[in-house]
Amino acid sequence: MEFIYSKHWLKKKKYRPDISEYEMEYCITNSDKIKDRKYEGVWNAITRVPHSGRKLKVVYRQYGKTIKILTTCWLE
């Protein structure tokens, strides 16, 4: 799975160093595709990450096999 990052996520990434690429990939592959209610073609992935027990939300857009990460945050 190949990731590209939005400008928004690149700014926020320095404030969230505990969110790794592995955790984002785990969240996307192990959750259902939830359609975003505001934007067309944007998907949400929400799942509990096993080693920390926290819920992670990833907002992304898919271009074939490439995934553009728009933003990511912990829900708890």
pLDDT tens digits for range 1-56:
899 999 999 999 999 999 999 999 999 999 999 999 999 999 999 999 998 899 99
Secondary structure (3-state) at 26: helix
Give me Rg for the CA atoms of the chain. Answer: 12
Tokens of residue 31, six digits: 């959750």
Predicted TM-score of the model (pTM): 0.90
Q: What are phi and psi of 39, to 5 degrees?
A: -120, 140
Give 65's contacts (C-beta < 8 A, 6+ positions apart). 1, 2
The pLDDT value recorded for residue 42 is 96
Question: What is the C-alpha separation between 73 and 55, in angstroms, rounded?
Answer: 9
The pLDDT value recorded for residue 71 is 95
Whether 67 has a pLDDT exceeding 90, the answer reads yes
The pLDDT value recorded for residue 51 is 85
